[in-house]
Structures are given as structure tokens and as C-alpha cells.
Amino acid sequence: DRKLFIDPDECIDCGACEPVCPVTAIFAEDDVPPDQAAYTEIDALWFKDPEAARAKVNELKPPA
């Protein structure tokens, strides 16, 4: 997979992952930039339907 997925049921919003993300792609829920908001839904979808989540990632950012 081309991205990591955050399980919204497991995340406790502690913020420990934000400063160590090598591509600055993790935000507190209230601080997600509008252009990244779709990924919040995709992360939740991953834990229910991984194939659907992969398809949505590929729609937003097609593979190189």
C-alpha cells in the first residue's frame, strides 16, 4: 500500500505520531487541511473495506 492508515477507533488523539511523520501527513482531527480531509474518511474505510479504500486513494492520487 502507498499510505499508512490510522484506525479512528484505536487512535486516542495523543498526538505522538504527528511530529515523527516523515512527510508531515498526520494532523489532529480539528487541524486537517481541507485538501487532505478526504483521507480521514479513507482511513476509516480501510478497516471496513481495504479494496474500496485503495481505490479511493488511487482516485485522489493515481499511482506513478
Domain ranges across the chain: 1-64
CATH 3.30.70 fits 1-64, yes or no: yes
Question: Measured between alpha carbons, how far is 64 from 17 in angstroms, rounded to an integer?
Answer: 27
Cell readout for 22 is 516523515
Report pLDDT for 64. 83
pLDDT of residue 36: 92
Average of per-residue pLDDT values in the chain: 92
Question: Rounded CA gap, 59 and 7, in Å?
Answer: 21
Structure confidence at residue 33 (pLDDT): 95
pLDDT computed for residue 21 by the predictor: 92
Considering the chain, what percentage of its residues have pLDDT values greater than 90? 77
Is 1's pLDDT higher than 80?
no
Local confidence band at 29 (pLDDT 50, 70, 90 cut-offs): confident
